[in-house]
Structure 1
Amino acid sequence: MGPSAWTTDVVSGLKWWQRVVLAVCLCALALPLWFAARNVHRFVDGDWTSTEGYVHCASNDRCEGTWSLPGGQRGHGEITGLAFEYAEEQVTGIRLYAGPDWAVTDRSDLAFHAAYELAGAAIGATLIVSVAWFKSR
């Protein structure tokens, strides 16, 4: 009995509405996988740079600013990992890892987030399939 027979047993043992719930739950796992892929892409394609001009920070650790990228491009957007006490600071030279519309202060955060998003998707898939297996019996 191969893998396709196992999946056929699981799906055929479920009621129609349980099949729908199984499909929806498995499709929902695409969201953490999308976030993980985005973080891996950023980890690979970003560049080390530094801030230029004003950095605006809200009280909830959300900061926005500008930075320069190789090739004369300028980046602007959210900077994750910065926090200031005031609404606006004239700060230049803060080291960032950035792309055209995103920046982080610590590159390893991208890898960490991608790892736990992938782990969450794997745990979720295991949980969903095991519940479907027990319900089909």
Structure 2
Amino acid sequence: MKLSKLALRVVPVLVAGTACIVHIACGDPSHVFAAREYQGARDCLDMTTSVDVVSGGDPGDCAPTCMLLPNDDAGPSVFVTTMCPPYPFGADTSGSDPACPKALAAFDRNDTCTSDGGSTHPAPAADAGADAQPTAAPDAEAAAP
């Protein structure tokens, strides 16, 4: 009979303790926020990497977004993500940085930076004709005295 009384006292304590541990381990949900860092000098994106752990369940995918994150060493880092908000603390997703259009273009062409200094899908070279100095129109030359 003594064993039964002891079991009646210990079992509820064990159950309560286990419930407390499960609650702590399964408390507020969070998820890894992933993005691809833009390498402006090479005009390509690094492989997807974890950027932060944010509160809430994984919200799924959204349209590609240019995101700037603070970087104490060299100013903000430019990332492209397809994860929906919430974004990491301090993230600027306004798209106002001049690097954003190029970063999103690199994402659109799936251009990944490679270890040899190149990339998988580089941007097409600019047309030499577009960089050349414009010449005078034939009518303008004829009208000159």
Specify which structure has the bigger relative contact order, considering alpha-carbon pairs within 8 angstroms and separated by 6 or more residues.
1
TM over 0.5: no
Higher helix share: 1
Larger radius of gyration: 2
Task: Place the TM-score, normalised by the shorter chain, in its bin.
Answer: under 0.3
TM-score of the superposition, structure 1-length normalised? 0.27
TM-score by length of 2: 0.26
